Amino acid sequence: MAKVPDTSETLARCICGGCPSFPGSGVLYCAKGKSEHAIVRRGCICPDCSVFSQYSLADGYYCADGAAGEGPE
């Protein structure tokens, strides 16, 4: 699993805003880390994102658990 770069190119492909668990602000959690807002886990669309496949990510819920490679606290 590669580290996801926090770039405008990666951001342009981010689909966080369409997620049923989206906390209402922020995006690109796989690169930036978890949201400052509470996450109600209503489903995760991370595996549907082209960023997820490009960087061989596993899991999901980066908004709740932190950036790819960080793991839950």
Condensed to tens digits (0 to 9), the pLDDT of residues 5-58 reads: 999 999 999 999 999 999 999 999 999 999 999 999 999 999 999 999 999 999
Amino acid at 29: Y
Establish if 53 belongs to a structural domain: yes
Residue 59 structural domain: 8-65
Q: What is the reported pLDDT for 69? A: 80
Domain total of the chain: 1
Amino acid at 58: A
Q: Report if pTM > 0.85.
A: yes
One DSSP character per residue, 6-58 reads --HHHHHH--GGG-TT--SS---HHHH---SS----S---GGGSHHHHHTT--
Q: What is the reported pLDDT for 73? A: 45
> How many Å separate Cα 16 from the centre of its chain?
6
Establish if 43 belongs to a structural domain: yes
